[in-house]
Amino acid sequence: MPAKTTAFDLFRTTDDHEELRSVVRSLVTEKITPYAAEVDAESRYPQEAHDALLATDLYAAHVPEEYGGAGADALAVAIIIEEVARGCVSSSLIPAVNKLGSMPVQLGGNEEIKAKYLSALAGGRGFSYGLSEREAGSDTASMRTRAVRDGDDWVLNGVKTWITNAGVSDFYTVMAVTDPDGKRGNNITAFVVEKGDEGFTFGEKERKLGVKGSPTRELFFENCRIPGDRIVGEVGEGLKIALRTLDHTRVTIAAQAVGVAQGALDYARDYVKERMQFGKRIADFQAIQFMLADMGMKLEAARQLTYVAAAKSERSDEDLGYFGAAAKALASDTAMAITTDAVQLLGGAGYVQDHPVERMMRDAKITQIYEGTNQIQRLVMGRALLRG
């Protein structure tokens, strides 16, 4: 007879998940972390990580097996992103953004569009997500990008901003207003735009505080003609699909935050065990031990909430929106606190580029901002609590 599942099994990862963690950690140590400082210093795309992830089916592990992917569950994807972020946050945006960009297709696309684009993604053609605009960040429903029907086609005009891995990805899920006079929120449609489409171009790379290895650019649409079969879902369903996507993918940002926090804690812990002051290791001072204890405690709380949210994502639970927002907010706030404390533990050494914690602190900051600021996450949670 199969072993009986108990409530305690719900509070630990499976052996398969831990085996996956071990595989990813070894890969990151050997082929990703050694290039992290160079990627940051040169603000260049982490091609070494791209190649390593693609070669090991970790590039877009969420893609179902029927489309050529690994069919990894949401918790497995979170672990992959966590472990990559532990060594290089810019590199962790490769699997994270591939899921973000393609999740609308997975959630709302018909079988034809799924087969075409998810299969291509599994084969190494990246996917990005085009929702935000400069005047429509948190208020996504106020976007100005327009799509006008022309025969069987649609013609897009407008600008999308803060697009991660823009210029590298081959495909872009883009939200555009298709009925300017329609009801707010029900007048937006999702389209897949391909990198080579005429009238589709990219802006210059943004000069950023962190995650410098992941290019962030604007998307420009000037009479960009899209075939009608590139609509994701139904006309007018775009914003609903976009927000459902974020319910799932905020979990990946939480995982990213947990990963960078773990990397910073690991490095700081090893440093204080070696650093000598007043004739003994600074790790032997109670003040240092208390800092480490708080860092470890906060990190584990964030990790557990992230894993619970990942399980809810896999099941598409009704309360996923609340838990995805909670995991993202807690994990990213925790990451910012832990990376800042890691810099403090190294003292002056933590403030220079000879050690990775200053990069980790810079990289951690964006997790509090993208895929919805943490103020927006608190709005999501507050409204859910008031609904009971």
Residues 168-221: tens digit of each pLDDT? 999 999 999 999 999 998 999 999 999 999 999 999 999 999 999 999 999 999
371 is known as an active-site residue: yes
Element (H, E) at 232: strand 231-232
Fold of 240-387: Butyryl-CoA Dehydrogenase, subunit A; domain 3 (1.20.140)
Residues 103 and 245: beta-carbon distance below 8 Å: yes
| Catalytic-role residue among 83, 133, 218, 371 | 371
At residue 2, the pLDDT reads: 47
Residue 358's contacts (CB-CB under 8 Å, 6 or more residues apart) are 343, 350, 351, 352
Residues 22 and 83: beta-carbon distance below 8 Å: no
Both tokens of 170, joined, read 């081959």
Residues 288 and 345: beta-carbon distance below 8 Å: yes
Mean pLDDT calculated for residue range 141-149: 95
Q: How far is CA 7 from the centre of its chain?
A: 30
For 327-358, write each residue's pLDDT tens digit: 999 999 999 999 999 999 999 999 999 999 99
Residues 261, 365: Cα–Cα separation, whole Å: 11
Residues 11, 9: Cα–Cα separation, whole Å: 5
For the chain, the distance separating the N- and C-terminal CA atoms, rounded to the nearest angstrom, is 41
Which is it for the CA torsion 248, 249, 254, 259, positive or negative? positive
CATH number assigned to the domain with residue range 127-236, chosen from the 4 options 2.40.110.10, 3.10.20.30, 2.40.170.20, 2.40.50.140: 2.40.110.10
Q: What angle do CA 67, 71, 77 make, to 5 degrees?
A: 130
At residue 185, the pLDDT reads: 87
At residue 287, the pLDDT reads: 97
| pTM score above 0.85 | yes
pLDDT above 70 (res 9):
no
Mean pLDDT calculated for residue range 119-135: 97
CATH number assigned to the domain with residue range 8-122, chosen from the 4 options 1.10.540.10, 1.10.520.10, 3.40.630.30, 1.10.1760.20: 1.10.540.10
Q: Where are the domains of the chain?
A: 8-122, 127-236, 240-387
Q: Which residues pair with 226 in a beta bridge?
A: 154
Mean pLDDT calculated for residue range 64-70: 97
Mean pLDDT calculated for residue range 25-48: 98
pLDDT above 50 (res 1):
no
Residues 329, 70: Cα–Cα separation, whole Å: 29
Residues 244 and 109: beta-carbon distance below 8 Å: no
Q: How many other C-beta atoms can be found within 10 angstroms of the C-beta atom of residue 202?
A: 15
